[in-house]
Every structure is written in C-alpha cells, then in structure tokens.
C-alpha cells in the first residue's frame, strides 16, 4: 500500500508544472493581443513566433502528463 501512495504523490507532483503552463500561455496570448492591438501591421511577423511559443509551452504540459502516467502505470 505504501508504494501505491508514493506513486500517487509522485504523479501529482509530476503534473504540477501544468500550473506554469497555464500562466505562460496566458502571458503569451496577452502579449499577442496587446502587440496586434497597438500595431496591426505586425501581425504577420508576430503570429509565427507566438505559435512557436505556444507549441513549446504546450509541449511542457504534454511531457508532464506523460511522466505522470509513466509513474502511475509504469
């Protein structure tokens, strides 16, 4: 029973970075909206960088989920 409890605690701690992912995504898209709102002409230059930042930030959430599932079922 103690091993199962340790697995649950470890899986919970492995998912903790998703909090940072949510904050990061909020910051990324608030910066996008602000920059396009101030200067609509830069949308073509800013959008690809924003999508790259979004993809890399979201990858962190997926990695955290995979590690959590590996801890639980591995």
**pLDDT score for 12:** 92
Q: What are 35-51's pLDDT values in tens digits? A: 999 999 999 999 999 99
Domains and CATH numbers, the chain: 2-73 (1.20.20.10)
Q: What angle, rounded to 10 degrees, do the helices at 43-73 and 2-14 form? A: 180
Q: Which residues are CB-contacts of 72 (< 8 A; sequence separation ≥ 6)? A: 7, 8, 11
pTM of the shown model: 0.82
Residue 1 has pLDDT above 90, yes or no: no
Q: Which of 31, 21, 32 is nearest to 60 (CA)?
A: 21
Do residues 25 and 58 make contact, with C-beta atoms less than 8 angstroms apart?
A: yes
Q: Which of 21, 11, 20 is nearest to 66 (CA)?
A: 11
């Amino acid at each position: 029973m103690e091993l199962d409890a340790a697995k649950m605690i470890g899986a919970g701690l492995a998912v903790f970075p998703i909090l940072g992912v949510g904050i990061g995504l909020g910051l990324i898209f608030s910066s996008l909206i602000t920059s396009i709102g101030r200067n609509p002409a830069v949308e073509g230059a800013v959008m690809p960088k924003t999508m790259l930042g979004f993809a890399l930030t979201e990858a962190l959430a997926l990695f955290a989920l995979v590690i959590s599932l590996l801890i639980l079922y591995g």
